[in-house]
Chain A
Amino acid sequence: MKRSWGADTPVRVRASTIKLRHARGRRPNFGGPLLHRVRTHFAGEGARVTRALLIAVIFLPALAHAYAGPGAGFAVLSSFWAIFVAFLYSFYALMTWPFRQLFRFIRRRNAYGKATFERAVILGFDGMDPELADRFMKEGRLPNLSKLRDKGTFTKLRTTFPAISPVAWSTFMTGVNPGKHNIYDFLARDANSYLPYLSSAEIKGPKRHIKIGKYSIPFGKTEIKAMRKGTPFWHWLGNAGIFSSVIRVPVTFPPEKFQGVLLSGMCVPDLKGSQGTFCLCTTRASDDKFREGGVRVPIERVNGLCRSYIPGPDSPLAEKAGTELRVAFEIKPEPGSKSARFVVGSEKFILKVGEYSEWIPAEFKAGLGFTAHGICRFYLKELSPEVEVYVTPVNIDPGHPDLPISHPVTYSIYLAKLFGPYATLGLAEDTWALNEHVLDDDAFLAQAYGNHEDRERMLFDALDKTKQGLCTCVFDTTDRVQHMFWRYLEEDHPAARDVPHSQHPPVIQDLYERMDRLIGRVMEKIDDDTLLMVISDHGFKSFARCMNLNAWLHQNGYLALKEGKSESGDWFDDVDWSRTRAYTMGLNGLYLNIKGREKQGIVDPSEAGALKDELQEKLNGLVDPSSGKIGITGVFIAGNVYRGPYTENSPDLIVGYGAGYRASWDSVMGKVTGKVFEDNMKAWSGDHCIDPRLVPGVLFSSHKFIDEKPAIVDVAPTILKLFGLALPAHFDGKPWNLAAKAH
């Protein structure tokens, strides 16, 4: 009987009163496990029986060849083993600690000798917007952030070009501009194929295979290469003997070795290797495909029993590439109730309609001992007349990670053992499912806040374990919820016109209040020897209007389609490269089709400068004819905003959309349509991938910094300075100056 991890999360809460039960029957809270006394079926009578047995055992004569069998043997041995191993570890740590300290001293790693603070706690609230924060503080909704503002610092924090999370957080951790860390977007483009690839990490399977019968056995190791360059500042801290706990900072996959612990964040793939492929299992027949990140899987219904499967990674052993591994599951509706019994492998559980399951293990067996370990959650959408089940993307199981998602490898396992399974996927909150109307608002929020609670537990554990050094944790909830619910902040957002403004739920207000309460709890755990910083990588603005830049390029003669085509497919299908001088892919990047660089480039390198200037002039200040508003408020030539050895990998131009605008969904995927401007009707209604000058992030601090116009690139040098360390020469950021250490 495998145990399950925590109780189901009821989802039937209104968006206006978003409350998740604190004790959902989940894993023990930080501060002390609370074991649930699940009664066996001997309860009541069991107490009397137990007493009788206890008396019998106590009064059994010692002569009795009392043998308790494997059960007692295991219990005793397990307990003894645990104590013995713990004693060995503790003894080792105690005995060697003086020598390690001496070694560090000899190597001049006097960790805290010149430090201003014993500890720095940096909380990243991805996407927290300073204008909204200011507004809510003035309304009295954020008392703890207000305290930080009054006692220390509250100001805007300049972001990166472009204002996208992987770019900004890479700059945060390395202290350099993108030209030195090589991250410009979630995606980069392959100049040979014009197709995208993940910009942060490259995963390659073994190159060689040995064919044995129907199996093709991989020979060699999987290569995982970090594409982000630069050194995170916690490495410099570690070199000086300062311990760091780093939790879910984006673009930390694969994790690098340093003195501390780290759990990778954004850009960790799911078990399929994607950034999150959800699954809708349904009895409804449909040929429709999801536009973003999901698959439809049929449910077979036979005599009341439903059977389906969870699609998993490709088999590493199959001769034919792309052979998918699957985990089968069954659903048996309970008669007369809105619930069903699920059987997934050896796991059995009951779900009501509108409920999530706990994290369920999903083991994908390829044969010959090859197994991929994943976890996923089920959400029962509908039971009658049709059966529909949403399954989250299959996350890498943190208790059995098949890819490295933490440093050391045991850190993710430690967290899983302490708190139970948790989301490991980089983009854990399934915004695509909400965009595709597979999930509704409540279900998405339940998922998002469930992940958020896990993150809070990890943070408080790290705070407890890191009394000295650096503790940093990034919360993605602020970003995801603002993306999906900005429509309720405005009176006339196209994506919320079906709901009267007076009925718009205060989702984002609730979100900020929740984050503020978190700050309050953190402040209770720290003292004046701790610097607390709350930062965000960028702010937020409405995303009410889409702009298809590829369409504009087409209409203005910079991009050509094949004969007879008025639109293209995804990823420049039907684009005539022989007549195309510029194209856009991703959120803000515009590329020239340069001869010698792109496989089918036609723009002479000597003409590239003039073409960039031309495009900059034409696009800067581009007006949306429907609204009269400026769709693009700034176009930036890469060479002017980046400097470093990786500038050549950047887009040629960075497009800064105006407030209310963003690249269209089609444009991001390299599709050319007929419309340049159109309404954004999706739930994803807020964004920040616009002119970076319009979406700075926030900086709150427990201590006053006196610098003007601080930027996210300054955080790394500031931390190093506050710990008394010399700054590497290549840093682009400048350390802030502390007004005075408050007492």
Chain B
Amino acid sequence: MVDRAAAMISAFNFASPMILLTSPLAIVIALSVVVGLLMVVLFGYTSDQRAIGIAKDQLKAHLLAVRLYRDQIPVVMGSYGKILRGTARYLKLTFKPLLYVIIPITLLVVQIDRYLGSAPIAPNASFLLTVHLAHPANARTTAGDADSQVTIELPQEITMSAPPVHVAVENEIVWRLVGSKEGKYEVEVKMVADGESLEKTVSIGSGLPRISTVRLRDHFWERLFASAEPSLPENSPIESISINYPDRSIDVAGYGMNWIWLFFILSMVAGFIFKELLGIQI
């Protein structure tokens, strides 16, 4: 027993760095530091540092003027106007480099959101599979109805816990499902009329699997940001197939946060530190 305990302890000791790497909080921190550094460097490289420095100094000067000449109302108001104009100038100077920065970072965030934005469905927890149809005429289904247009085929590990519900107003059909075992499964959605069969991936379990909450037809930009699966066929009557994965909450000192907010704050802090260290004006 002592040997087993020792083995477990040593295994834990070996694994603890590995645990850190799979911890969402650790990932967000590491990512924030790297992104903070990259963004600051990229900003410094693509911006007119001299002009930004001057614009910021001008703003500081006008702020100081408001204080220095506070008894002279015309000067105060004039300085306030200059501050507004100076702020506009400063934003104009930062706009172009921000464009260079926004695009890659947005795409990166989108990809990271696949892992950190949503959590997989816990085993034995129920979830909803929603099929959104293009035309209301196709949305006829009732449990056991021989004329059902849309059916689903489930793997063994996933069962239906309630009959499907047709939400005519939304052109949607919703199934309540339960997964019994961890894993990644394909749920088949079939159009009875033409035999078209479409698949939707479902992640059951824990950890940081790559999750796609929805599969879409068309909507290129929406697919880019929301879906990690191939698009549905263009002529398919099904517009989207979605699963209501729970939002992942990252525990920070007892407070649950969405990873985006945490990333925003930490990358700002990291960026601030790096901008000071590298002497880059933002």
Contacts and interface: CB of A to CB of B under 8 A. Distances in A.
Contacts of A121: none
A349 interface: no
A509 interface: no
11 contacts: A38-B48, A63-B222, A64-B221, A65-B110, A66-B106, A68-B101, A86-B66, A243-B72, A410-B68, A465-B75, A467-B72
B226 interface: yes
A418 B57 contact: yes
Interface in A87-101: 87, 89-90, 92-94, 97, 100
A470 B72 CA distance: 13
A243 B110 CA distance: 58
Given A75-B91, A418-B61, A65 B80 contact: no
Q: Give chain A's interface secondary structure class.
A: helix
Given A66-B106, A70-B271, A71-B43, A82 B54 contact: no
A62 to B, nearest CB: 10
Nearest to A71: B43
B281 interface: yes
Contacts of B58: 28, 33, 417-418
Interface in B63-101: 63-77, 79-80, 83-84, 86-87, 89-91, 93-94, 96-101
A70 B94 CA distance: 12
Contact of B54 (A28, A40, A410): A28
Contact of B46 (A42, A87, A420): A42
B246 to A, nearest CB: 17
Interface string A18-62: 000000000110000101111010100010001001101101110
B134 interface: no
Interface string B198-223: 00000000000000000000000110
A71 B225 contact: no
A232 interface: no
B51 A93 contact: no
A83 interface: yes
B35 interface: yes
Contact of A89 (B51, B70, B105, B270): B70
A85 interface: yes
B60 A417 contact: yes
Interface in A380-420: 408, 410-411, 413-418, 420
Contacts of B76: 89-90, 93-94
Contacts, number: 211
Nearest to B110: A65
A74 B51 contact: no
A323 interface: no
B35 to A, nearest CB: 6
A86 B63 CA distance: 6
A416 to B, nearest CB: 8
Q: Give chain B's interface secondary structure class.
A: helix
B64 A413 contact: yes
Q: Residue among A36, A46, A66, A413 with the most chain B CB within 10 A?
A: A66
B270 A70 contact: yes
B70 A92 contact: yes
B98 A68 contact: yes
Contact of A93 (B48, B64, B73, B103): B73
A70 B268 contact: yes
Given A57-B99, A82-B63, 16 more contacts: A1-B44, A3-B50, A33-B86, A38-B51, A42-B46, A64-B224, A65-B110, A68-B98, A69-B39, A70-B267, A71-B40, A71-B97, A71-B98, A75-B90, A75-B98, A97-B73
A260 to B, nearest CB: 9
Contacts of A83: 83-84, 87
B243 interface: no
Contacts of B140: none
A138 B69 CA distance: 42
A624 to B, nearest CB: 53
